[in-house]
Amino acid sequence: MRRLLVVIAAVAFTSCANNDLVIVFDTTTTSPSTTSPSTTSSPITTTTLAGYGDQVRSVVVDGDALPAFVDSHTDPAIGRPIPTLIGEDYDGTPITVGPDRANPMLLVVLAHWCPHCNNEIPEINAIRDADRWPAGLEVVGISSAIAPDRPNFPPARWLVEKDWTYPVLADGIDETRGVYIAGDALGVTGYPFMVLVDATGAVRGRWSGESPADALVALVTDLINPPADA
């Protein structure tokens, strides 16, 4: 484990915080369409998400959420199964991300407005194009922290422009709690955010921030295939 900690410490993580992100709602009040002769009907108040359109989708979480991320070196999520996330991509194709996949998996949580996410996608694409990921590794994106008033909205178009070719789950919003559903279930506290899961569905590592391709390949490889002296 000592060598793995050194590898994590060597990666220069710089991330976008999500604690200043506000989910915006529209509230409208309308008169009822019909009235009773004997009663006075109250106005109808409707609250809906403002301006998000089809960029947020329905997401169902099955299983226990991971704790909010604080530190890669003392992460209580290590060894725990990830919850199953059931949703769809921006084309409406169903997508399920969970612990029952046969291969190791890297979940990449991205925010369209985050400059560090914009920097990290080309690094991930470079790894893809050079076929440098460990054998069998699946990469799945999660488009989260959608914000209509921030740069690069809508994220569906942004991902195409950034040449993101991996599967992507479009995050949803829990309107009661005011959180992004998939991001909250994975314990996301910044962007980009990555969760590495082994072939048994257990978390092998979580980290937040951008890093160069070489460092990212080394980190993922050592966590999935730890050296004998780890």
Which residues of the chain fall short of a pLDDT of 70?
1-14, 18-48, 227-230
By DSSP bridging, strand 25-30 and strand 84-88 are unpaired
pLDDT of residue 12: 47
The pTM (predicted TM-score) of the whole model is 0.84
pLDDT of residue 25: 47
pLDDT of residue 142: 98
User: What is the C-alpha separation between 202 and 80, in angstroms, rounded?
Assistant: 5
pLDDT of residue 137: 97
pLDDT of residue 101: 85
Distances 32 to 36, 42, 46, 187 between C-alpha atoms, Å: 10, 7, 12, 42
pLDDT tens digits along 102-123:
899 999 999 999 999 999 999 9
pLDDT of residue 114: 96
In the chain, where the domains are located: 2-23+51-224
pLDDT of residue 146: 96
pLDDT of residue 40: 40
Provide CATH code, domain 2-23+51-224.
Answer: 3.40.30.10
